[in-house]
């Protein structure tokens, strides 16, 4: 799904995407075609053990008559040996990884793992390779970012568990779904929760799942090859499932989760997220039974503060904009001077740089608050912007150098978030007048759907007035200019 989410964003940018896959399930084929993508199956070259030479040859044969700008690789068996063989047939290589355990020959590498740091890859890649690490780059369907405001309002104060979402990945190899249903049934409920299950139609224990559902007194919805997972996560009050990609989906919509480790690469992330109070970790699937699942359901059912903490910590971990951020590095926006303009997330190294900018009286001249902050005040502001994913703070980079800041803050009314964001922007002087602010604001617009952006612009700030009017913002009242996205 990570590659599909990238492909869907690339298609919006009028790029053609071709999937080259070993052994494609029918459901995946249908999904690729539904989204308008092409695929090439290498099923005839499936091996008992992965052979990088044969796989590279098959891939080269599949793409040799195509002009490939970017080859995106999402396969834990592939390393630099394979990359080197393919490099002469493509212009650039992007690797998606979360192991940091082998050598890579690529131009861009992304690892969305929680707390992953660039230095963990530095011995495995060439110095020219651009590294994007951490949960700011989670590769989610864009619907998750679009549903954030609704989810934030829905989870303002979680009081009851009325809807439970169960997802263990596409295939339930370890009979987790039936164990979970039985655990839920064994809990004493004032009002029985509705249960929603998402699983592949090709899961081997499907008949057993259906039989248990048919005998149940609960309202259970079985969704095969589910296309509406974001909406189900948004509507749920509790999730029970695997600690895989769905973990980031649940976090982005603040859904409290009980997670089960189904594979080796989930162990570390499950443990660390549990330590930081983001999920409830049940450990490896082989040690999980109905009694343990029931115990953790009862814990959350009786502890609303814990439920709300899990929700808030999830919201602050993932904002759902990872694909939008990644695609800026794949195809950067450029001005007429051929400058590459990219918006990257705020990070800890920006503290002093931004303080220097904000202490400049010329830059602050058109701020709502023109008073220069103290270092302590700035540090508090910075920390708040850094940890809150509800407030989107982006550093504008020009040819990889910091050049300014864009801030977006959701607007509240009577304790409810509106579908409105306050937006502000500034550039340091040597980057002004080059079309950089215009392009940066256009990039921000691509982050949203069906929201309003509001800018406060002072009457004597002629350059900003001209900029926002050029972008289609209209005068609302006093110094407020708005645009519906």
The CATH number that applies at residue 38 is 3.40.50.11190
Report residue 279 CA to chain centroid gap.
17
Examine the fold and report which residue of 137, 152, 186 is the final residue of a domain before the chain moves on.
Answer: 137
- Whether residue 369 is contained in a domain is answered as yes
Examine the fold and report which residue of 112, 137, 162 is the final residue of a domain before the chain moves on.
Answer: 137
Tens digit of pLDDT for each residue in 258-313?
999 999 889 989 999 999 999 999 999 999 999 999 999 999 999 999 999 999 99
pLDDT of residue 294: 98
Tens digit of pLDDT for each residue in 158-210?
889 999 999 998 899 999 999 999 999 999 999 999 999 999 998 999 999 99
Q: CA 246, CA 253: separation in Å to the nearest integer?
A: 11
Q: Model confidence at 28, in pLDDT bands (50, 70, 90)?
A: confident
Tens digit of pLDDT for each residue in 415-438?
999 999 999 999 999 999 999 999
- Whether residue 327 is contained in a domain is answered as no
- 375 and 406: one domain? yes
- Whether residue 323 is contained in a domain is answered as no
| Mean of the per-residue pLDDT values of the chain | 94
- 266 and 286: one domain? yes
Instruction: Tell me how crowded residue 190 is: count the other CB atoms within 10 A of its CB.
Output: 5
Q: CA 104, CA 285: separation in Å to the nearest integer?
A: 31
The CATH number that applies at residue 176 is 3.40.50.2000
- 132 and 183: one domain? no
Asked if residue 110 has pLDDT above 90, the reply is: yes
Task: Count up the domains in the chain and report the number.
Answer: 3
Asked if residue 119 has pLDDT above 70, the reply is: yes
- Prediction pTM value: 0.93
Instruction: Scan for tokens 């009694």, then name that residue.
Output: 291
- 205 and 302: one domain? yes
Tens digit of pLDDT for each residue in 355-383?
999 999 989 998 988 899 999 999 999 99
The CATH number that applies at residue 475 is 3.40.630.30
- Whether residue 322 is contained in a domain is answered as no
Asked if residue 157 has pLDDT above 90, the reply is: no
- 115 and 89: one domain? yes
- 110 and 247: one domain? no
What's phi and psi for 41, nearest 5 deg? -95, 135
CA atoms within 13 A on the CB side of 365: 11
Examine the fold and report which residue of 317, 345, 365 is the final residue of a domain before the chain moves on.
Answer: 317
Signed CA dihedral, 308, 238, 115, 427: sign only: negative
pLDDT of residue 87: 97
- Containing domain of residue 293, as a range? 143-317
């Amino acid at each position: 799904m990570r590659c599909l989410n990238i492909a869907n964003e690339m298609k919006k940018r009028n790029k053609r995407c071709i999937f080259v896959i070993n052994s494609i399930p029918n459901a995946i084929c249908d999904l690729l075609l539904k989204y308008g993508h092409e695929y090439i199956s290498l099923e005839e070259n499936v091996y008992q053990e992965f052979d990088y030479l044969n796989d590279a040859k098959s891939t080269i044969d599949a793409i040799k008559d195509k002009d490939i700008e970017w080859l995106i690789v999402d396969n834990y068996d592939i390393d630099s040996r394979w990359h080197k063989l393919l490099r002469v047939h493509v212009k650039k290589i992007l690797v998606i990884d979360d192991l940091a355990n082998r050598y890579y020959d690529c131009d861009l590498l992304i690892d969305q793992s929680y707390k992953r740091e660039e230095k963990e890859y530095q011995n495995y890649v060439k110095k020219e390779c651009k590294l994007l690490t951490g949960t700011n780059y989670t590769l989610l369907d864009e619907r998750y970012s679009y549903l954030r405001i609704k989810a934030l309002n829905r989870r303002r104060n979680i009081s009851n568990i009325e809807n439970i979402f169960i997802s263990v990945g596409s295939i339930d190899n370890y009979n987790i779904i039936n164990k979970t249903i039985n655990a839920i049934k064994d809990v004493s409920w004032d009002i029985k929760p509705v249960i929603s299950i998402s699983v592949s139609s090709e899961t081997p224990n499907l008949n057993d799942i259906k039989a248990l559902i048919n005998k149940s007194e609960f309202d259970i919805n079985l969704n095969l090859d589910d296309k509406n997972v974001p909406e189900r996560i948004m509507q749920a009050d509790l999730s029970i499932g695997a600690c895989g990609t769905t973990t980031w989906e649940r976090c982005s919509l603040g859904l409290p989760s009980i997670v089960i480790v189904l594979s080796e690469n989930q162990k570390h992330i499950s443990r660390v997220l549990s330590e930081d109070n983001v999920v409830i970790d049940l450990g490896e699937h082989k040690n999980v039974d109905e009694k343990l699942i029931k115990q953790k359901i009862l814990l959350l059912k009786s502890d609303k503060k814990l439920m709300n903490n899990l929700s808030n910590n999830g919201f602050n971990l993932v904002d759902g904009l990872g694909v939008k951020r990644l695609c800026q590095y794949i195809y950067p926006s450029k001005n007429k001077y051929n400058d590459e303009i990219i918006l990257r997330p705020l990070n800890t190294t920006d503290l002093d740089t931004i303080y220097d900018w904000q202490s400049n009286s010329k830059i602050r001249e058109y701020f709502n608050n023109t008073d220069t902050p103290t270092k302590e005040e700035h540090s508090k502001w910075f920390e708040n912007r850094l940890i809150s994913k509800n407030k989107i703070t982006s550093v504008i980079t020009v040819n990889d150098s910091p050049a300014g800041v864009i801030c977006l803050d959701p607007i509240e009314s009577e304790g409810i978030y509106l579908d409105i964001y306050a937006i502000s922007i500034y550039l340091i002087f040597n980057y002004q007048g080059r079309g950089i602010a215009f392009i940066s604001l256009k990039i921000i617009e691509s982050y949203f759907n069906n929201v309003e952006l509001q800018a406060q612009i002072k009457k004597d700030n002629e350059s900003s007035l001209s900029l926002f009017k050029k972008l289609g913002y209209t005068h609302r009242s006093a110094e407020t200019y708005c645009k519906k996205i």
